[in-house]
Structure 1
């Protein structure tokens, strides 16, 4: 290494591809930009664009988190509506049968 020149050691940036793929099962509309940005990280690193790779990784992580949050919230709402409604219907049906219906 010569003085004044930065070392050319390859930098590692996590592309968040695993989280992006997991998020596609929860809420795919937001997971698509996550996967697109995750796929940009490694080529940017190979080109030497460390800042661009970090930015793409951050975008991928942001979109993945939003997809997971929205997907889990949607899943919770569906479960509460389906199971909650079924449970309330079962409870109201059993109480109606004991009231001399």
Structure 2
């Protein structure tokens, strides 16, 4: 029986870059995880919106700032967890 080789697409610079960049290092999120991240960012945007309305600041930048603050917090927690895990594994050797 003769087997055919799979056809491969040429690797574009974007795919090469995307392969090495991961937003979260210690977890691999599925649809539910990405949905939870999106809901948390929307909650942060809601807090930014209500804070902007309360203080009288422009709403647009506060929406983006609230969502960005939540995402930055998640990334910081993930990097700390990844570093702790990496350092713990190195100390056992």
> Into which bin does the TM-score normalised by the smaller protein fall?
0.3 to 0.5
TM-score normalized by the length of structure 1: 0.39
Specify the structure having the higher radius of gyration (Cα). 1
TM-score normalized by the length of structure 2: 0.42
